[in-house]
Amino acid sequence: MEHINWYPGHMKKTKELIQKNLKLVDVVIELLDARIPLSSRNPQINEIVQNKPKVIVLNKSDLANPTISKEWVEYFKKEGHKVVEVDTISGKGLDKVTKMANEAVEDKMKAREEKGMNRRAIRAMIVGIPNVGKSSIINRLTGKKSAKTGDRPGVTRGKQWVRLKGNIELLDTPGVLWPKFEDLNVGLKLAFTGSIKDEVLDVETIALRLIDYLCRYYPENMKERYKLDTIEEEALDNMENIAKKRGCILGKGRTDYTRVANIILDEFRASIIGRISLERPNEEIHITMNDTDEE
């Protein structure tokens, strides 16, 4: 598979929007996917935000391996950031987002008071890649449907200010990816979690690579979910065995690869296979397959 190069025009505009409006805000709230905190972290954001106070939100924590998520919390704390795990379905951790945003700019607000100025609403910017759950978090924090949501990347558009609880005014921005994934593994992890539209990549290949990863790192989950007697060495053999168990068979016993691929991707994304993390701090995990390894 070649390097994934997907940079729609609206994402270029979003980067410019962030740069233009950064001076208006006091704190940046950066949303990451708890299953892939590094791969879902746009390296351009750090470059643009620079020394602006930041709160890191590990969203979709209900889908991630809880033990590994704790490791990520410590990892980002050591980087000097405030960090919180969030689950927008149950609402877990959401109250801490506004609390940490206030804490991040407390020194600035005290300095205003010392100069004889009144405290004003804290202005925050929320940033993150597509489909990381920004709109869902905004709707939860405001207590109303103020932002468009969708289960497909690229639903949010344009710029809007939203009033949050905790005396915070939030500047929402669309999801923004970076121009090119030099590391194929990063692109694949984004594809696994749905941050890249399925139409952009080959669904069967993506599912095959995901099966390879899951069978290596979460074999018991795979055995239990798909009633597999054994885990084979080759990802394709495992895919075909899952297809048989699920009845994804065409005429003359041929495997329906598209159907089984969609089942695997859908069940992984919905956490039906289990709470799974695709990366952990200080441990490089490569998504590879025997017949198509890329260095």
Asked if residue 65 belongs to a known ligand binding site, the reply is no
Is 60 annotated to bind a ligand? Reply is: yes
Taking CA 289 as the corner, what is the angle to CA 285 and CA 295, rounded to the nearest 5 degrees? 65
**Residue 51 labelled as part of a binding site:** no
Would the annotation count 20 as a binding residue? no
Count of Cβ atoms closer than 10 Å to residue 68 Cβ: 19
Q: Does 136 show up as a binding residue in the annotation?
A: yes
Q: Is 59 annotated as a binding residue?
A: yes
Q: Which residues pair with 172 in a beta bridge?
A: 126, 160
d(CA 26, CA 46): 15
- N-to-C CA span, the chain: 12
Per the annotation, does 131 bind a ligand? yes
Q: Is 133 annotated as a binding residue?
A: yes
132 is in an annotated binding site: yes
- Residue 277 counted as an annotated binding residue: no
- HEC profile of the chain: CCCCCCCCHHHHHHHHHHHHHHHHCCEEEEEEECCCCCCCCCHHHHHHHCCCCEEEEEECCCCCCHHHHHHHHHHHHHCCCEEEECECCCCECHHHHHHHHHHHCHHHHHHHHHCCCCCCCEEEEEECCCCCCHHHHHHHHHCCCCCCCCCCCCCCCCCEEEEECCCEEEEECCCCCCCCCCCHHHHHHHHHHCCCCHHHCCHHHHHHHHHHHHHHHCHHHHHHHHCCCCCCCCHHHHHHHHHHHHCCECHHHCECHHHHHHHHHHHHHCCCCCCCCCCECCECCCCCCCCCCCC
251 is in an annotated binding site: no
Amino acid residing at 206:
I
Annotated binding site: 59-62, 131-136, 175
Sequence ranges of the binding site for GTP: 59-62, 131-136, 175
